């Protein structure tokens, strides 16, 4: 009986503490911080999270908040932290626009995974490449672009990642993926590159970068031909 009584008293004390934690103004949220956002406003993140000033810090449902924030296509990763007694930090990692896909006078903004982040009548960042030659019937913002030709899609995402990895996103103005055996790049400063298929793409992109740097120093324009076997050939205009 004594043991049971102690157990009941212990549960009673726990309940008292729970009531205190859930009702005390000491644990009401006074500070809401959002980190890592560039394309999504702080106000939008907080609104989606349904976390509000004055709410008890123990009452927030982190899982539901994260699920709601993920409704914004730009949000790739989320972490919500409680900082006792009255602060909540929302940390996010955003998806980045890597290229544009023309569509009926507008542009689909896509990341390096082919996720459609938004559609705009103009390019938000004109220094990023436009991908041409993709065939698709429908699309939905917040989802991966569904291309009729799956190999064409995988080639597109690989090209974007390789160009990004080489630090050339600002140099490439156009990626023409119409023919997988004859991929063509439009490069700023009046230079073009025919790179053939996707084989050895890492080598090809790196080689193009070094050639372009030399051509820019000499103020030359023309086409870098790499679609044949053998060494690359530059054909000046």
Residue 197 to residues 113, 219, 230, Cα–Cα distance (Å): 20, 28, 14
SS3 at position 158: helix
Q: Which residues contact 151 (CB under 8 A, 6 or more apart)?
A: 180
Residues 50 and 158 grouped into a single domain: no
Residue with tokens 């999504």: 40
Q: What is the CATH number of the domain that holds 32?
A: 3.10.20.310
83 and 109 both lie in a single domain: no
Q: Which domain holds residue 64?
A: 2-94
| Token output for 157 | 């995402």
128 and 83 in one domain?
Answer: no
pLDDT of residue 24: 66
pLDDT in tens, 121-157: 999 888 899 999 998 888 999 999 988 888 898 999 9
Please tell me the distance from the alpha carbon of residue 95 to that of residue 74, in angstroms, as a whole number.
5
DSSP-derived letter for residue 33 is E
State pTM to two decimals. 0.83
Q: What does pLDDT average to over the chain?
A: 89
* Residues 124 and 227 grouped into a single domain: yes
Same domain, 55 and 113: no
Report, as an integer, the average pLDDT of 23-46.
91
């Amino acid at each position: 009986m004594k043991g049971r009584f102690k157990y009941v008293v212990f549960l009673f004390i726990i309940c008292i503490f729970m009531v205190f934690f859930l009702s005390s103004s000491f644990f009401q949220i006074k500070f809401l911080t959002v980190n890592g956002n560039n394309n999504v406003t702080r106000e939008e993140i907080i609104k989606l999270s349904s976390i509000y000033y004055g709410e008890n810090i123990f009452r927030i449902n982190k899982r539901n908040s994260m699920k709601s924030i993920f409704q914004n296509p730009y949000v790739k990763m989320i972490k919500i932290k409680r900082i006792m007694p009255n602060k909540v930090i929302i940390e996010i990692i955003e998806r980045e626009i890597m290229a544009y896909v023309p569509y009926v006078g507008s542009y689909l903004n896509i990341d390096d995974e082919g996720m459609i982040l938004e559609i705009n009548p103009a390019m938000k960042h004109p220094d990023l490449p436009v991908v041409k030659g993709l065939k698709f019937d429908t699309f939905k913002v917040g989802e991966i672009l569904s291309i009729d030709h799956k190999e064409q899609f995988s080639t597109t995402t690989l090209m974007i990642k390789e160009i990004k990895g080489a630090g050339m996103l600002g140099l490439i103005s156009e990626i023409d993926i119409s023919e997988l055996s004859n991929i063509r790049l439009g490069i700023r400063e009046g230079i073009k590159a025919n790179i053939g298929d996707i084989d050895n793409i890492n080598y090809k992109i790196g080689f193009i970068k070094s050639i372009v740097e030399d051509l820019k120093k000499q103020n030359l324009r023309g086409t870098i031909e790499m679609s044949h076997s053998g060494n690359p050939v530059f054909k000046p205009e």
